[in-house]
Chains A and B, each alone.
Chain A
Amino acid sequence: MTALVVAEHNNQELKPVTLNTVTAALGLDQEVHILIAGNACSSVAEEAAKVSGVAKVLLVESSAYENFLAENVATLVSNISGDYDYILAPTTTNGKNVMPRVAALQDVSQISDISAIESSDTFQRPIYAGNCIATVKSNDSKKIITVRNTAFDAASATGGNAEIITLEEINDAGISKFVKEEIAESDRPELTAADVIISGGRGMQNGDNFTILEGIADKLGAAIGASRAAVDSGFVPNDYQVGQTGKIVAPDLYIAVGISGAIQHLAGMKDSKVIVAINKDEDAPIFQVADYGLVADLFEAMPELESKI
């Protein structure tokens, strides 16, 4: 019995979410292999080979896989899936884009965004924006799964010594073409990998006011996030968004500033270890999930907080 983890990477480095998916795969009591599909990405394979618990790394390099186009990568994964009982990927935009296409090619009903493993065929997953948890049993012989990274610890990035096998399995459907990518450059940690997140909501009033959060973020080594209300109001770009329709995060410390706490937002951050809410409306629902609430005007409280931490 073996499990294949489809790795998330950028052709230069392995993305940390892959490590959480490896933990889920190991939790299925499987021999775990990692697929690195990309272009000129052998250094990623070497990194993957060191991940604790991984038995084999499959490396496929081709321009057809460089930008992880769904048509090409799904055909690749489907073609090599024969030996595997489980195929897993993190619930990232890449995982969500590719895995259902693999599942349909294999005539399998995918289990999306699992948050717990109950047995070899039974899993928990959030539905209705996290308002309910469904426990589902898969009757397909092959299981195709995406993994909610915040629900599983990261496997150790070192300690492994897996064999790297190079595959010559090139599929170029030739029906889609990568044009460009605009990735926000930041010295701060990525939202999904940060230990501390400080997020602003509608209470920030405008985009310029987000600079109030930057000084504290610098002091705490935090990522900056936002509620959907702040994104919809045009304060900050969409990739700041924490919530059911944005990023799902679970840092050690989450500081919600001027965020009322819509269900949509709570679904994205309520698994954080410690939640702090700062809001001038004492009835804001965010206080119902916060470990520490401060009823205050954020424009007074935040500069004070920055000067004292």
Chain B
Amino acid sequence: MKILVPIKRVVDYNVKVRPKSDESGVDLNNVKMAMNPFCEIAVEEAVRLKESGKAEEIIAVTIGASSSQEQLRTALALGADRAILVETDVEAEPLGISKLLKSIVDKESPDLIILGKQAIDGDNNQTGQMLGALTGFSQATFASEVNLDGDNLSVTREIDGGLQTLDINLPAIVTTDLRLNEPRYASLPNIMKAKSKPLDIIPAADLGVDISPRLETIKVTLPAEREAGVIVETVDELIDKLKNEAKVIS
């Protein structure tokens, strides 16, 4: 069993981003970057499958600029065996990213692809499903439990109102939800060891895929702010306000 884990470099989840002053995009100057949290969960799940003897090899892959090597090294420190950077300075959309990933899938023939359900920058929630369409693989999105038993993959999914369990054929695509696992921290010896693991760099242009954007960002702005209201002193005052001022209860 070979597992491919596509990951993404994003703004650290603790950072509150702001639009640039000319509204042309999000201001990413001097902002701390990190691996997308859902991608960390994907790496962790792959590593657990390997540790339980169900997988032999884990390949981490990312599409991005040279700086994304940092997040690939993190994946290697967490337990991936090797890494691939498909290097491009184009800020590709999920459609372009999934086309590039399809090229990597064709080269590597993984049995299982695990990726985050969404990246916390664009919040698109598209790449796994799009890769499913391009490869024709089965998909189980928003996974909260993954059970692999030989060729039988059973996935429990977080759906509106509850949980759904699917049995899907390999090769398959699984996207991770929050409760799937709690990712480990990389230990110092593993961080050191990761430096000598293989990391291949493939220029995106070499894959012969059209990744030109289809969407134009016209502007990025702050959402309408809510104004803070009033502090009430007692429960009675609260009920009075809700009844007579806001008129939301009777």
**Chain A residues close to B by CB (< 8 Å):** 67, 69-71, 74, 92-94, 96-105, 107-113, 122, 126-140, 173, 175-184, 190, 192, 196, 220, 228, 237-239, 244-245, 247, 252-253, 263, 270, 273-276, 282, 287-296, 301, 304-305, 308-309
Which of A69, A101, A126, A293 has the most chain B CB atoms closer than 10 A to its own CB?
A101
Q: How many A-B residue pairs have CB under 8 A?
A: 245
Q: Apart from A69-B166, A105-B133, A292-B241, what are 14 other A-B pairs with CB-CB below 8 Å?
A: A71-B138, A103-B126, A104-B131, A104-B134, A112-B123, A128-B123, A131-B17, A135-B218, A137-B215, A138-B215, A139-B214, A180-B165, A245-B177, A247-B160
A127 lies within 8 A of B95 (CB): no
B220 lies within 8 A of A129 (CB): no
**Distance between Cα atoms of A133 and B28 in the complex (Å):** 15
Q: Interface majority SS on B: helix, strand, loop or mixed?
A: mixed
CB-CB under 8 A from B139, the residues of chain A are 70-71, 97, 101, 176
A293 lies within 8 A of B229 (CB): yes
Over the window 137-150 of chain B, the binary record of Cβ atoms lying under 8 Å from chain A Cβ atoms (1 yes, 0 no) is 11111101000000
**Distance between Cα atoms of A183 and B165 in the complex (Å):** 11
CB-CB under 8 A from A110, the residues of chain B are 94-95, 124, 126
Q: Which residue of B lies closest to A110 (CB)?
A: B126
Q: Interface majority SS on A: helix, strand, loop or mixed?
A: mixed
**Chain B residues close to A by CB (< 8 Å):** 11, 16-19, 26, 93-95, 98, 120-134, 136-142, 144, 154, 157-169, 177-179, 213-223, 226, 228-232, 234-236, 238-239, 241-242, 246, 248-249
**Distance between Cα atoms of A107 and B95 in the complex (Å):** 8
B242 lies within 8 A of A274 (CB): yes
A291 lies within 8 A of B229 (CB): yes
B235 lies within 8 A of A294 (CB): yes
**Distance between Cα atoms of A135 and B98 in the complex (Å):** 23
Q: Which residue of B lies closest to A174 (CB)?
A: B169
**Distance between Cα atoms of A274 and B160 in the complex (Å):** 24
B242 lies within 8 A of A276 (CB): yes
Question: A239: which of B123, B161, B236 is its contact (CB, 8 Å)?
Answer: B161
The 7 closest A-B pairs by CB, nearest first: A104-B133, A291-B229, A100-B129, A109-B214, A104-B130, A100-B126, A183-B162
B167 lies within 8 A of A101 (CB): no
Q: Which residue of B lies closest to A91 (CB)?
A: B125
CB-CB under 8 A from B234, the residues of chain A are 294
Write 19 A-B pairs (CB below 8 A) sorted by A numbering: A70-B129, A101-B129, A103-B95, A127-B121, A127-B122, A127-B220, A128-B121, A131-B17, A132-B26, A132-B220, A132-B222, A136-B218, A137-B218, A176-B166, A237-B162, A293-B232, A295-B231, A304-B235, A305-B235
CB-CB under 8 A from A192, the residues of chain B are 160
CB-CB under 8 A from A130, the residues of chain B are 223
Nearest chain B CB to A112's CB is how many angstroms away? Answer: 5
A178 lies within 8 A of B242 (CB): no
CB-CB under 8 A from B95, the residues of chain A are 103-104, 107-110
Q: Which residue of A lies closest to B154 (CB)?
A: A179
CB-CB under 8 A from A253, the residues of chain B are 242, 246, 248-249
CB-CB under 8 A from B161, the residues of chain A are 183-184, 190, 239
A122 lies within 8 A of B218 (CB): yes
B120 lies within 8 A of A128 (CB): yes
CB-CB under 8 A from A288, the residues of chain B are 226, 228
CB-CB under 8 A from A276, the residues of chain B are 238, 242
Q: Which residue of A lies closest to B214 (CB)?
A: A109
Given contacts A132-B222, A135-B221, A136-B217, contact A109 B162 (CB under 8 A): no
**Distance between Cα atoms of A85 and B95 in the complex (Å):** 19
Which of A99, A132, A274 has the most chain B CB atoms closer than 10 A to its own CB?
A132
CB-CB under 8 A from B222, the residues of chain A are 131-133
CB-CB under 8 A from A178, the residues of chain B are 164-166
B133 lies within 8 A of A181 (CB): no
A290 lies within 8 A of B228 (CB): yes
B26 lies within 8 A of A100 (CB): no
Question: A292: which of B124, B160, B242 is its contact (CB, 8 Å)?
Answer: B242
**Distance between Cα atoms of A288 and B229 in the complex (Å):** 7
Question: B129: which of A104, A122, A282 is its contact (CB, 8 Å)?
Answer: A104
CB-CB under 8 A from A139, the residues of chain B are 214-216
